[in-house]
Amino acid sequence: MPQTSKDPVALRSIIVLLGGPGSGKGTHGQALAAALGYEHLSSGEQLRDHIRRATPLGLQAKGLIENGQLVPDDLASELIHGLLAGYSNVRSFVLDGYPRSLAQAKALEQIVAAVGGTVTQALYLAISDDEIVRRLSGRLTCKTCGKTFHESSNPSARAGLCDRCGGELFRRIDDEPATIRRRIAVFHHAIDPLLAFYRETGRLAEVPAEGPVAEVSARVIARAKRGGEGCEGAPVQ
């Protein structure tokens, strides 16, 4: 966990990864952060950690997440503000899982400004609804470390056990079929205004996110390294 700093270091760049459930934000976010030398932050992992520890924030979020609903904007923004302000000696971040709504995107602008940073890019991982269902219906998660596997495309070496830590694998409640359908509906309701916000400010880039994991990660990294070049809504030089 990060150490709290009274004087947060100036953040030169924050890249946000947008995409539907199962689009690979965590996987490709980790690859992108490693390639750029950034810190990777996942709001979903942080929320699940709060749920496991039964913190006040986790107790508020638990039922909503299990039912495929979004965490309220103020709660999600409180989490992100604490994370960004709490890291010391970190200059740049890849942020996945937040923002998920227009209100959160606007809140993020204020949060990063307060710690001396700026959102430089929003990369949208585009996949079809059918692909979301296929991916999530086979996803398994480690109870101990949170690493994810897939029954067909990325199985663990030992059935039911995590390759990283040996923990037990399970299917999250929000990956059950009925919950997946609700999550997709919630996602579509929220994503259009969110994409419009980043498009209008010249920071949105869409990355096709179907295909082999390594190939998609390579696309994400290549797109991020191009910076604002070719972003939707970017001014023509």
Separation CA 192–CA 132 (nearest Å): 17
Query: Is 25 annotated in the active site?
Result: yes
Query: Is 181 annotated in the active site?
Result: no
Cα-flanking dihedrals φ and ψ of residue 38, to 5°? -95, 165
Separation CA 148–CA 77 (nearest Å): 25
Work out whether strand 169-170 and strand 139-142 pair parallel, antiparallel, or are unpaired: antiparallel
Separation CA 123–CA 220 (nearest Å): 8
Query: Is 53 annotated in the active site?
Result: no
Query: Is 91 annotated in the active site?
Result: no
> Is the N-terminal amide bond of 72 cis, ω within 30° of 0?
no
Q: Which residues of 127-168 form beta strands (DSSP E)?
A: 139-142, 148-150
* Catalytic member of 25, 62, 135, 199: 25
Check if the beta carbon of residue 222 is closer than 8 Å to that of residue 207: no
* Catalytic member of 62, 135, 183, 223: 183
Amino acid found at 72: P
* Catalytic member of 91, 106, 171, 172: 172
* Catalytic member of 48, 100, 135, 203: 100
Q: Which long-range contacts (CB under 8 A, 24 or more apart) does 26-29 make?
A: 26/96, 26/97, 26/148, 27/148, 27/213, 27/217, 28/125, 28/209, 28/213, 28/216, 28/217, 28/220, 29/94, 29/95, 29/96
Q: Which residues of 75-231 form beta strands (DSSP E)?
A: 92-96, 119-126, 139-142, 148-150, 169-170, 204-208
* Catalytic member of 48, 62, 135, 139: 139
Place of tokens 């992992």: 45
Query: Is 183 annotated in the active site?
Result: yes
> Catalytic residue positions?
25, 100, 139, 172, 183
